[in-house]
Amino acid sequence: MKTSDQTLAYTLARIGMGINMLVHGLVRLPKLNGFVDYITGQFEKTALPSLMVKPYAYAVPFVELGIGVLLILGLLTRQTLVVAMFLMLSLIFGTCLLENWANAGSQMVYLAYFAVLLGLRTAYNQQSLDERLGRS
């Protein structure tokens, strides 16, 4: 069976975002405590208490890593994209609290990218473990 250009484009876009998210998580894990301290420090002057920020900051690299692995494999793609979009929504919320509009714009691009992947998933996610396992 020949792969259509649309399916190939979707697959490479999904894998590309998967690599992006995987590496986001991987590079933060060795310096996890420093990452958490940095994020917690950023939010000291906001309404969010560190009691909420700290556990969230610890979770983010692991969530990014999981999203990355699952997108690369094309496994649980729909659920993974929904989780990724909720991650972006939460990051956008925090970034807006910090009034960091440039980063919020960048995060909006990620959100849009995930939305496009989700919207095209049914039609073009044939090169995936979901498809091979009959979960499409």
Put simply, whether the predicted model's pTM sits higher than 0.85 gets the answer: yes
The pLDDT of residue 74 is above 70: yes
The alpha carbon of residue 58 and the mean position of all alpha carbons in its chain are separated, in whole angstroms, by 15
Amino acid letter at 41?
Answer: G
- In this structure, what token pair is assigned to residue 86? 């909720």
- Considering the domain boundaries, does residue 14 fall inside one? yes
- Considering the domain boundaries, does residue 130 fall inside one? no
Domain that holds residue 14: 5-124
- Considering the domain boundaries, does residue 52 fall inside one? yes
**How many domains, in total, are found in the chain?**
1
Per-residue pLDDT of 8-38, as tens digits, reads: 999 999 999 999 999 999 999 999 999 999 9
- Considering the domain boundaries, does residue 115 fall inside one? yes
- Considering the domain boundaries, does residue 131 fall inside one? no
- Between CA 83 and CA 80 the distance in angstroms is 5
